[in-house]
Chains A and B, each alone.
Chain A
Amino acid sequence: MAEPNWRLAGKRAKLIERARIMQMIRAFFIDHGYLEVETPHRVPGNAPEAYIEPETSGNWFLHTSPELAMKRLLAAGYERLFQICRCWRSAERGRRHLPEFTLLEWYRAQVDYTALMTECEQLLTGLVPSGSLTRQGHTIDITPPWERLTVAEAFQRYTDTTPHRALSDDRFDEVISDEIEPRLGFDTPVFLIEYPAELAALARKKPDNHRVAERFELYIAGLEIANAFSELTDVEEQRARFAREDEQRRSSGHPPYPSPEKFLNEMVYMPPAAGIALGVDRLIMLLTGAAEIDEVVAFTPEDL
């Protein structure tokens, strides 16, 4: 082709914004006493998850998140950690999904998930000096505190079913995706909290109510931005959950994951902690008014 790549050149304004936002995120965590770490992207195994498919790399895998390595650092005594890195999840491609995407993960010892909600509020307040965002004709007020909505309340408000019934009908994800998600976070950001214990993954159950887990997802203007937990530190329960996830994988025809033994051995030393994964590309979509994730990255897989 005799012409320069016009579409790529047209992304300049968004890519400049992206670089600026990345620097601001880094500055926020460094100011708050966090240590920036880099953990390997190519790993012998990921945390077993029923619905997350890793990309293989030789006999190993590309990481689907830096979670296990960062928790090993926590267990070794590092108290405040953050990382901004590429992660890979096979076959995830849509208007808000890329199979290679950027995650911001941070972990903090001696706190629970409520401390992370406060930090999300602080981070966004710093990134949006005007105090509000606009998306699809809505103005979203960023001023803290943001709404904390339990999953049970969200089902009651927006659906004609309950989380329990939706789970037993195997419709939970559809109800969240079709009926709840499109209505969350258009006035102010919303923390959707207290997921059913069945969907706890690596989260701790709520001490005074074992039917729900201390997990939240942050939604802004219908976009799912972050997923956070009070971390599970009970190694026996973690083993049982990994086994259950693997069983679910096997029964749906997916290969089992190798068990992350080094992580499980060191988990014994993990302090009480909370951790969060935030989708950086989606955050940049919000901050730059992009309709699709393709607009905020230089290249998509289809461009390569």
Chain B
Amino acid sequence: MYSCSDLKKGLKLMVDGEPHVIVAFDFTKPGKGQALYKCKLRNMITGSLFDRTYRSGESFEPASLEDRDMQYLYQDETGYVFMDQKTFEQVTLTEETLGDDKYFLIDNMDVKVLMFGDRAIGITLPNFVNLKVTQTDPWVKGDTAAGNNKPATVETGYSLQVPSFVEEGDLIQIDTRTGAYNTRVKE
């Protein structure tokens, strides 16, 4: 069982008998009062979103989900296709189900596909992926401030903020849990 102190963005738990994932989380505590744990939950089957506030002392059942090791194959008109390397069984996930995870998929990447019974409802990516920068403004001569940033787009169409010294063609490492730039990578 989870307690309130385990709650965080990304945690998967059972709510009203169905698996849910916390998509936004905030802790708050008014005045000298009780701690409140505010969650935005997504039903992992229907996709519907709703808000719930929990208080210290409540407990939660982890979502009964199974992770299966699979490889990402390709995208077709029905969605994104993954294959179990042992059984050769294939599953397809829709663009809607994958959400922003679709931006971090690279052909032949190993991922964990989340199964609720025999239904594929999501994926778990590696924590870091390396993607090539396809568009960003050139580095401005004289801009030496280490903290400056600018927008960039990577090969999968994903946009993010990067340090000003990152150039087009650079390979960068992105943290898939936050979607944020992590570091440059040498090829």
**Which residues of A does B touch, CB under 8 Å?**
1-4, 6-12, 49, 51-52, 91-97, 172-174, 176-178, 181, 195, 199, 201, 217, 224, 227, 252
Contacts and interface: CB of A to CB of B under 8 A. Distances in A.
Given A97-B27, A252-B57, A173 B147 contact: no
A217 B5 CA distance: 26
Contact of A4 (B29, B36, B57, B146): B146
A92 B27 CA distance: 7
A97 B57 CA distance: 20
Interface in B145-173: 145-149, 163
A93 B31 contact: no
A217 B33 CA distance: 12
B145 A201 contact: no
Contact of A1 (B27, B34, B149, B183): B183
26 contacts: A2-B184, A3-B183, A6-B149, A6-B181, A12-B145, A12-B147, A51-B29, A51-B32, A52-B32, A96-B28, A97-B27, A97-B28, A97-B29, A172-B33, A173-B36, A177-B28, A177-B36, A177-B53, A178-B53, A181-B30, A195-B31, A199-B33, A201-B32, A224-B30, A224-B31, A252-B56
Given A6-B181, A174-B36, A178-B53, A217 B31 contact: yes
Contacts of B53: 174, 177-178
Contacts of A94: 26-29
B33 A6 contact: no
B31 A10 contact: no
B49 interface: no
Given A6-B147, A95-B26, A176 B31 contact: yes
Nearest to A175: B30
Contacts of A252: 56-57
Contacts of B163: 3, 6
Contacts of B56: 252
B33 A176 contact: yes
A201 B33 CA distance: 11
Given A8-B147, A49-B32, A177-B28, 11 more contacts: A3-B184, A12-B145, A92-B29, A95-B26, A174-B36, A176-B30, A176-B31, A176-B33, A177-B53, A199-B31, A252-B56
B35 interface: yes
Contact of A10 (B5, B149, B184): B149
A178 B52 CA distance: 11
B30 A177 contact: yes
B9 to A, nearest CB: 11
A17 to B, nearest CB: 14
Interface in B11-44: 26-36
In this complex, the member of B26, B30, B32 whose beta carbon has the largest number of chain A beta carbons within 10 angstroms is B32
Nearest to B149: A10
B145 to A, nearest CB: 7
A95 B27 CA distance: 7
Q: Identify the 5 closest CB pairs spanning chains A and B, nearest first.
A: A94-B27, A10-B147, A173-B33, A9-B147, A9-B146
A199 B184 CA distance: 53
Contacts of A8: 147
A51 B170 CA distance: 50
Given A92-B27, A94-B28, A96-B28, A51 B33 contact: yes
Nearest to B56: A252
Contacts of A92: 27, 29, 35
Contacts of B181: 6
